[in-house]
Amino acid sequence: LAKTTQPISMDSYEGQEVNITCSHNNIATNDYITWYQQFPSQGPRFIIQGYKTKVTNEVASLFIPADRKSSTLSLPRVSLSDTAVYYCLVGGPGGADGLTFGKGTHLIIQP
Amino acid sequence: NAGVTQTPKFQVLKTGQSMTLQCAQDMNHEYMSWYRQDPGMGLRLIHYSVGAGITDQGEVPNGYNVSRSTTEDFPLRLLSAAPSQTSVYFCASSYWGADPQETQYFGPGTRLLVL
């Protein structure tokens, strides 16, 4: 499974755009990139998924360069409620080992 | 749809006791899995199943058993609880298709304390 590297923590302020970058140098041809969000005392929940270029939904955007060795989750105009841990995953249930979560990025939004 | 449900929400065990954590989903998902999450850590995969009658080990399977007799249920058994198994346990489910990465749906978690 492709290993991912992302910052342990990030700080920002309400109303700002936040970009969290994840490195996945050994991503396989068939791998997708997925981001999950986890609030304290809750299970993770799906945010966005992509294969290449750019994907946007009502919550976030995901930017993937042509070599796919990294990806950037972009959260527009964050609020206090966006304080959470964000996980970048590559690969998934289609693989033999299921999903592998790293430690994620703890995003703290301040007023 | 109730989604993924887990019971109990919280449990205290003594060392050596056994128990079963229940997980059920009503989305007709083929894939189900169990994770544990320790303080400040990410989730680690314990066991997973790609369909009824099929289970496999994840990253940290020792001390845990699973079975999958129905599509809906995927219980996790602690054979002889140890303090090192104190953790929060999450169950998740998803479709199992040609797409290499289906969206996982997580339950609310079970907090387990082993004394």
Contact B104 A36 (CB under 8 A): yes
- For the segment A59-88, what is each residue's pLDDT rounded down to a tens digit? 999 999 999 999 999 999 999 999 999 999
Q: How far apart, in whole angstroms, are the C-alpha atoms of residue B22 and residue B10?
A: 12
| Average per-residue pLDDT for chain A | 89
**Which position has the higher pLDDT, A90 or A37?**
A37
- CB atoms A44 and B43 under 8 Å: yes
- Select from B43, B48, B104 the Cβ nearest to the Cβ of A46: B104
- Predicted confidence (pLDDT) per residue in B38-50, tens digit: 987 888 989 999 8
Contact call for residues A76 and A17 (beta carbons, < 8 A): yes
According to DSSP, the β-strands at A105-110 and A9-13 are parallel
Write the CB contacts of B39 (distance below 8 Å, at least 6 apart in sequence). Answer: none
CA distance, residue A77 to nearest chain B CA (Å): 25
Number of residues that make up chain B = 115
Q: Which residues 36-55 on chain B approach chain A with CB closer than 8 angstroms?
A: 40-45, 48, 50
Question: B77 vs A94, which has greater pLDDT?
Answer: B77
DSSP 8-state secondary structure symbol assigned to residue B103: P
Residue of B nearest to A91 (CA): B101
- Partner-chain contact B104 A93, CB within 8 Å: yes
Which pLDDT score is estimated for A94? 54
Stretch B61-82: mean pLDDT, rounded? 96
Q: Are strands B110-114 and B105-106 parallel, antiparallel or unpaired?
A: unpaired
Q: What is the pLDDT of residue A98?
A: 59
User: Which sign does the torsion angle of CA B107, A82, A71, B44 carry?
Assistant: negative
Q: Which residue of A has its CA nearest to B100?
A: A94
pLDDT in tens, A13-31: 999 999 999 999 988 888 8
Does position B18 have pLDDT exceeding 90, yes or no? Answer: yes
Q: Tell me which of B8-22, B44-58, B95-109 is least confident.
A: B95-109
Confidence of residue A96 (pLDDT cuts 50, 70, 90): very low
- The answer to whether B2 faces chain A, any CB pair under 8 Å, is no
